[in-house]
């Protein structure tokens, strides 16, 4: 029997760009008969909160978000309805699936065919150009929802869908091989602590950069081989060279939303090293071109991941090699979570329980 679908639900709505969020309990639920072919309705169990959600709320990126908007793009829930005449046979009612930043893409253009689904010109973005996961029922797309492995709990899976996929995709594009040194600034943060674990699982040697005893303990426990406290270090570049046997890292995953990390990376990478740009400061790169050329440095942008990246990232987590450090909150707490993000007070990830 098909599960009964209520007409209204709890949802965190941003009524206008830059406005405060409103947690409403009378937001309409799109009914199964109204779903278009290819759409599915997912009853959310939980959803992570990402720094991107803050940009969606403020509208401070070069690409404008839709308005009004429901944010969120790290959600896990159960498929409770699928649009009539949907041709995809892989997803069925009752499946536990994840909703990621890339909600949908055409699967038929050059970028999609090459596996760059996130660069499809028809891409739909959860919690940005289509409503996201901060509501109890979410309309998503059967071709792009990600099946969640049975052995992985929903709350453990949530932040893999954005933070995990993002850093996993970045390491895949870092041109590194087993035994190479990878430099991870911000290693104790939401993205960083996952990057340390994926890098470790992929056989890379990790130099973790962050500050404070708590983060040091965390990243060393998660598999970092070397630790540099940027507040205690008198010369970060010198310390990284020393940590990597004098030659510098083979790659750096720069997740900070500021430009300073990029210029420095040119100095601490060995020749032919790769800088993977993940953080999104709306600014020029600032790296010295002379040294980029002279050292044959590669600079690559890495923007989330495709469907396959999401499946791989979840499988590695399901195998117990990556564990998200998170705290649980309720949807009603989202406003204070946003405030915490804005003030930089939130360590690790926040996951909202959507069932209460």
Least Å from the CB of residue 230 to Zn ion: 24
Is the CB of 180 or the CB of 309 nearer to Zn ion? 309
Q: Which of residues 173-202 bind Zn ion (CB under 5 A)?
A: none
Among 106, 201, 299, 347, binds Zn ion (CB under 5 A): 106
Buried b (16+ CB within 10 A) or exposed e, 62-75: eeebeeebbbbbbb
Stretch 285-324: interaction string toward Zn ion, x if CB under 5 A: ----------------------------------------
Among 46, 120, 208, 337, binds Zn ion (CB under 5 A): 120
- For residues 238 and 227, what is the distance between their CA atoms, to the nearest angstrom? 13
Is the CB of 105 or the CB of 244 nearer to Zn ion? 105
- CA distances 61 to 49, 53, 128, 156, Å, are 18, 11, 11, 29
Binding status of residue 105 toward Zn ion by CB under 5 A: yes
In terms of C-beta density within 10 A (0-12 exposed, 13-18 middle, 19 or more buried), how is residue 87 classed? exposed
Is the CB of 112 or the CB of 194 nearer to Zn ion? 112
Q: Which part of the chain contacts Zn ion (CB under 5 A), choosing from 47-55, 264-272, 284-292, 321-329?
A: 47-55
Least Å from the CB of residue 263 to Zn ion: 25
Binding status of residue 50 toward Zn ion by CB under 5 A: yes
Binding status of residue 118 toward Zn ion by CB under 5 A: no
- CA distances 340 to 23, 332, 335, 345, Å, are 17, 14, 9, 5
CA-based nearest residue to 22, from 65, 66, 68, 58: 68
CA-based nearest residue to 42, from 108, 113, 103: 103
Residue tagged 């035994």 (tokens): 179
Is the CB of 184 or the CB of 228 nearer to Zn ion? 184
Among 112, 184, 209, 314, binds Zn ion (CB under 5 A): 112
Among 49, 69, 82, 162, binds Zn ion (CB under 5 A): 162
| Interface positions with Zn ion (CB under 5 A) | 50, 52, 105-106, 109, 112, 120, 162
């Amino acid at each position: 029997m098909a599960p009964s679908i209520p007409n209204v639900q709890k949802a965190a709505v941003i009524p206008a760009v830059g406005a405060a969020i409103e947690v409403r309990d009378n937001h309409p639920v799109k009914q199964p008969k109204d779903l278009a072919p290819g759409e599915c309705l997912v009853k959310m169990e939980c959803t992570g909160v990402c720094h991107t959600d803050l940009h969606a709320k403020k509208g401070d990126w070069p690409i404008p978000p839709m308005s009004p908007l429901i944010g969120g793009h790290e959600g896990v829930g159960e498929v409770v309805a699928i649009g009539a005449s949907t041709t995809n046979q892989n997803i069925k009612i009752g499946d536990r699936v994840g909703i990621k930043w890339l909600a949908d893409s055409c699967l038929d253009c050059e970028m999609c065919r090459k596996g760059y689904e996130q660069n499809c010109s028809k891409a739909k973005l959860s919690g940005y150009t289509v409503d996201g996961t901060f509501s109890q029922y979410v309309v998503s797309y059967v071709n792009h929802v990600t099946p969640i492995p049975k052995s992985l709990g929903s709350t453990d899976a949530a932040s893999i869908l954005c933070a995990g996929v993002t850093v996993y995709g970045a390491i895949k594009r870092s041109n590194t091989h087993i035994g190479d040194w990878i430099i991870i600034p911000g290693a104790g943060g939401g993205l960083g602590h996952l990057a340390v674990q994926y890098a470790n699982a992929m056989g890379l040697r990790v130099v973790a950069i962050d500050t404070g005893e708590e983060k040091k303990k965390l990243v060393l426990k998660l598999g970092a081989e070397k630790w540099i406290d940027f507040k205690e270090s008198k010369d970060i570049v010198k310390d990284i060279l020393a940590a990597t046997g004098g030659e510098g890292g083979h790659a750096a995953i720069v997740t900070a939303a500021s430009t300073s990390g990029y210029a420095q990376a040119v100095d601490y990478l060995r020749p032919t090293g790769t800088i993977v740009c993940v953080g999104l400061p709306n600014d020029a790169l600032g790296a010295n071109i002379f040294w980029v050329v002279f050292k044959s440095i590669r600079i690559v942008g890495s923007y989330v991941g495709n469907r396959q990246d999401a499946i791989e990232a979840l499988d590695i987590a399901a195998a117990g090699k990556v564990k998200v450090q998170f705290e649980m909150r309720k949807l009603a707490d989202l406003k204070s979570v946003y405030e915490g993000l804005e003030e930089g007070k939130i360590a690790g990830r926040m996951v909202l329980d959507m069932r209460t």
